[in-house]
């Protein structure tokens, strides 16, 4: 027999829902932080007519993402935004669909396959830096999107971005705007014809890239997906491959680009950290391109990346709904009531991360408690591309900091914008100074 309470965890009264909604729309990220700072690590509230919950307690987060994952689904927000464009890709699906697809795709992400792209990531970074000039003022946000898009093209399709880059960039902007509208107002205001055109643009781009990839005849993620089988001998259909490729294409490129932009923003604002990292790189890296095993010899690089992802996690919120009544933390949560885990607020829990707004890579000399730090999620839905993303970001920082100092541009202000991902707004600008 369950001992669950028939009441609710702490939280603002339902009569405050309008006030909460105004606060949410004014500053979404501050809303989540204030909610937990005021009411604790397990909060209930009513927002926009919906009763929902928010978790910051690591053990309760484990309950939702790991222990009781089998009876959880993605939220309606995820389906209305990402699902519209990505179908049932890994970033959207749940249950048996997710389990089956993950069992097919996961074995492809071997260390050898990931390390095999070290040289190409290095080359992409060198190509970008070839366009830099001493004392240039660069739009680092745009540069990092160009870099990660080029990397994704080569690792998934084995080809170049070409004329499709502008089309893809515009499509991503439409999706970001639609996701922000859905979050802020509960509906998507973007005209349906624009959304359909965006989806068609993405599908056409994928078709073109698939065609070019097949002509290359090399082992890319796309070709591996086409050849892969699960233990059950089932294979991915052409539609499923398209959805997964589009998921890697969208989710992988956008999150890595934002993470790198945030890293440059933080390093430019903290010259002492930048110098310390440059010294570690100088002492360890002698050969070019970089040998993958060198990463194990650069603990400060890893700490810088982890601290960047703590302060500005690109995947900044996770949402789940229960498929049946479920007990969490001694309370019964009804089906379809959203359970939110704001990673941005979780990473600012002062009980785990003192002085949470400060950029202190040294705090990762020791690992934080499990489920208190989740830049890539957790459980069955943990980001499948995490190792590739860390390699990509590490190589970019190493190669750029060997040749350049990154300095902030006076008078510029960058703030996090909570959309589909956590983007720097308006953009990260920096002066690049040749070393």
Closest CA to 397 of 224, 299, 263, 282: 263
pLDDT tens across 173-221, in order?
788 788 778 877 778 888 888 888 888 888 787 777 777 666 555 567 7
pLDDT tens across 78-115, in order?
888 878 888 888 888 999 999 998 988 888 888 888 88
Question: Contact 416/181 with Cβ under 8 angstroms?
Answer: no
And the tokens for 348?
A: 């600012």
What is the per-residue pLDDT for 6?
56
Phi, psi angles (nearest 5°) of residue 383: -55, 120
Count CB atoms within 10 A of the CB of residue 112. Answer: 7
pLDDT tens across 125-143, in order?
999 999 999 999 999 999 9
Res. 2: pLDDT tops 50: no
What CATH architecture does domain 14-434 belong to? Answer: Orthogonal Bundle (1.10)
| pTM of structure | 0.91
Question: In the predicted model, what is the mean pLDDT of the chain?
Answer: 88
In the DSSP assignment, the letter for residue 396 is: H
What is the per-residue pLDDT for 78?
83
What does the DSSP assignment read for 314-378?
Answer: SS-EEEEEESS-EEETTEEE-TT--EEEEHHHHTT-TTTSSSTTS--GGGGGSPPPTTS--TT--
pLDDT tens across 10-57, in order?
999 988 888 998 999 899 999 999 999 999 999 999 988 889 999 999
What whole-number distance in Å separates Cα of residue 168 and Cα of residue 173? 9
Cα 293 to Cα 115, 287, 394, distances in angstroms: 9, 12, 12
């Amino acid at each position: 027999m369950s001992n669950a309470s028939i009441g609710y965890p702490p939280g603002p009264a339902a009569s405050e829902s309008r006030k909460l909604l105004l606060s949410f729309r004014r500053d979404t990220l501050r809303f989540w932080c204030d909610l937990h700072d005021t009411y604790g690590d397990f909060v209930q509230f009513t927002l926009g007519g919906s009763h929902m919950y928010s978790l910051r307690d690591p053990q309760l987060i484990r309950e939702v993402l790991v222990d009781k994952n089998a009876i959880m689904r993605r939220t309606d927000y995820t389906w209305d935004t990402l699902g519209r464009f990505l179908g049932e890709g890994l970033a959207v699906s749940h249950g048996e669909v997710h389990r089956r697809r993950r069992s097919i795709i996961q074995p492809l992400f071997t260390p050898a396959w990931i390390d095999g792209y070290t040289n190409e990531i290095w080359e992409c970074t060198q190509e970008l830096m070839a366009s830099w000039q001493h004392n240039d003022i660069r739009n680092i946000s745009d540069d990092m999107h160009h870099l990660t898009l080029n990397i994704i093209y080569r690792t998934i399709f084995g080809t170049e971005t070409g004329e499709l880059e502008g089309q893809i960039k515009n499509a991503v902007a439409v999706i970001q705007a639609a996701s922000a509208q859905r979050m802020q107002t509960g509906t998507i205001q973007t005209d349906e014809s624009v959304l359909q055109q965006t989806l068609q643009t993405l599908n056409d781009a994928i078709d073109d890239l698939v065609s070019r990839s097949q002509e290359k005849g090399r082992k890319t993620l796309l070709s591996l997906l086409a050849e892969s089988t699960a233990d059950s001998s089932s294979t991915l259909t052409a539609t499923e491959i398209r959805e997964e490729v589009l998921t890697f294409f969208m989710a992988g490129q956008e999150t890595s680009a934002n993470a790198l932009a945030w890293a440059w923003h933080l390093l430019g604002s903290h010259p002492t950290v930048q110098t310390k990292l440059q010294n570690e790189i100088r002492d360890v890296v002698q050969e070019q391109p970089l040998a993958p095993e060198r990463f194990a010899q650069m603990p400060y690089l890893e700490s810088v990346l982890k601290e960047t992802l703590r302060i500005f996690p690109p995947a900044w919120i996770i949402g789940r709904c229960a498929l049946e009544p479920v007990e969490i933390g001694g309370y019964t949560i009804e089906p379809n009531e959203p359970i939110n885990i704001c990673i941005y607020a979780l990473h600012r829990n002062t009980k785990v991360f003192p002085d949470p707004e400060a950029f202190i890579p040294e705090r990762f000399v020791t690992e934080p408690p499990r489920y208190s730090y989740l830049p890539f999620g957790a459980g069955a839905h943990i980001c499948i591309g995490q190792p590739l993303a860390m390699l990509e970001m590490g190589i970019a920082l190493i190669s750029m900091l060997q040749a350049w100092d990154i300095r902030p541009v006076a008078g510029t202000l960058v703030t996090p914008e909570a959309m589909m991902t956590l983007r720097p707004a308006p953009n990260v600008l920096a002066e690049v100074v040749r070393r």
